[in-house]
Structure 1
Amino acid sequence: MTPPAPLHLSLAGQAVDVLREQVLIGEIPPGSRVNEVEVAQKLGISRGPLREAIRHLASEGLLTLVPHRGAFVPDASPEDVRALFELRTALECAAAELAASRRTDVDLVRLQEVCAESRRNYKAGQPFPYRLDLAFHQTLIEAARSPYIAEQVRLVQQRVVLLRSALDDDPPHQHASMDDHDELVRAIADGDAATASTVMRRHLSRVCAQMLTSLTH
């Protein structure tokens, strides 16, 4: 008997990637129900693989399953934001400390490249690219070389991106985030674990406060 294809190679796996993207960029806005017929037709698949993909994304917290009603993209609430950032701060401060002691020269180059690209986009008048923000944090996590932290951070970060998809751009906040990233790179380059953790904590505290302010206005 031939074993089932791994999720990432199957139709359901492909649907997971596409549906995740639609949710994270706000194409399916928070509070909206996933129209299974419409999405299945758009992807050119049956509803079976799509439902498997929906269950997978629900396990990651990107969708909420409501009995007899279907799958919904969760709305952001202040409580959700605070809880997510409590976890994110614990994980990423630890990762920043580890990165300061475990990073390689290649890691540093990658971090510096992402920072430079973010600045170029910002100066060109483009909104702060959250893909580059994720790329920065992902590169930092990779430099920490802690796979269990990396997996948990990935899940938390994408839920933060989901909540952000409903918020307006905030240029002063975006500029401050790039400054934080630059300071983090300097601390990691210097092998200064304490400063790297302190900067990360301050950075995430400000991001959390900005999101909470946006939600209440």
Structure 2
Amino acid sequence: MTPPLHLSLAGQAVDVLRELVLTGDIPPGTRVNEVELAQRLGISRGPLREAIRHLASEGLLVLAPHRGASVPVADEADVQALFELRTALECAAVELAASRRTEADVVRLRAVCEESRRAYSAGERFPYRLDLAFHQALLHAARSPRIAEQVRLVQQRVVLLRSGLRDDPPHQHASLDDHDALVAAIAAADPSRASDVMRKHLARVCAQMLTSLAQ
């Protein structure tokens, strides 16, 4: 059954608006100009407003009375709270992945790691899509849909907060090394080692973000 047109347009608007926010095309602290954005996307303001409300429910936009929507700005408390939650969720997920993974899962994880290194070595800015693809492959291996959904929401909020921060090449190299170590632990079916690597990885990412905020 084909969904109503306004719902289809709203769904498309959600995807496009999410991309604009997560890539920093609409930077943190910026107010969403509904008129300009509706013209840019070629849709009416009705579906756009539905998309704005949806992204606000995910924490990617903030709604203020009489001011409309804006992209939130990172602060230390936000970062620490998100990483407390992300650590709890993703450490549980990698333990499950190490216990439940198939050989196909390991092949996929290694492929994403290799693709990430190629892209970064070619001079691309550390691509959030590949970072998310790696963590999504981990979640697939864990086979826990409820954990996966909660991690997705937390991860994209972290991506949003990172979009306004400067690049840090040593940190990005270390993240690629962490990903390789996680794949090795999962391939070895070692839940304890996988959880330990993930915990240290996320602690370092959190510390790097807090340092960037302070600067």
- TM-score, normalized by the shorter chain, greater than 0.5: yes
CA contact 1:127–1:171 (8 Å) conserved in 2: no
- Equivalent residue for 1:94? 92
| CA distances 1:113-170 after superposition (whole Å, capped 9, x unpaired) | 0111111122222222221111100100110000000000000000000001001110
- Equivalent residue for 1:195? 193
CA distance in 1, matches of 2:102, 2:2: 39
Give the alignment partner of residue 183 of structure 2, picking from 172, 181, 185.
185
Change (3 A) 1:133 1:3: closer
| CA distances 1:82-118 after superposition (whole Å, capped 9, x unpaired) | 0000000000000000000101111101100011111
- Structure 1 residue identity aligned to 2:109: L
CA distance in 2, matches of 1:72, 1:128: 25
- Structure 2 residue identity aligned to 1:105: E
| CA distances 1:41-68 after superposition (whole Å, capped 9, x unpaired) | 0111111111011000000000000001
- Equivalent residue for 1:46? 44
2:15 maps to 1:5: no
Give the alignment partner of residue 155 of structure 1, picking from 129, 153, 157.
153
Q: Identity of paired residues, percent? A: 77
Give the alignment partner of residue 208 of structure 1, picking from 183, 197, 206.
206
CA distance in 2, matches of 1:185, 1:6: 43
| CA distances 1:1-56 after superposition (whole Å, capped 9, x unpaired) | x996398x611101000000000001111011000000100111111111011000
CA contact 1:84–1:160 (8 Å) conserved in 2: yes
CA contact 1:61–1:159 (8 Å) conserved in 2: yes
| SS of alignment partner, residue 69 of structure 2 | strand
| SS of alignment partner, residue 104 of structure 2 | helix
Q: Trace 1:24-103 onto structure 2 (pairs within 5 A).
A: 24-103=22-101
Give the alignment partner of residue 168 of structure 1, picking from 166, 170, 187.
166
Deviation >4 Å, runs of 4+: none
Change (3 A) 1:174 1:3: closer
Q: Where in structure 1 are there 5+ consecutive unaligned residues?
A: none
Q: TM-score, normalised by structure 2?
A: 0.97
Report how many residues are paired. 215
Q: TM-score, normalised by structure 1?
A: 0.96
- Structure 1 residue identity aligned to 2:213: L
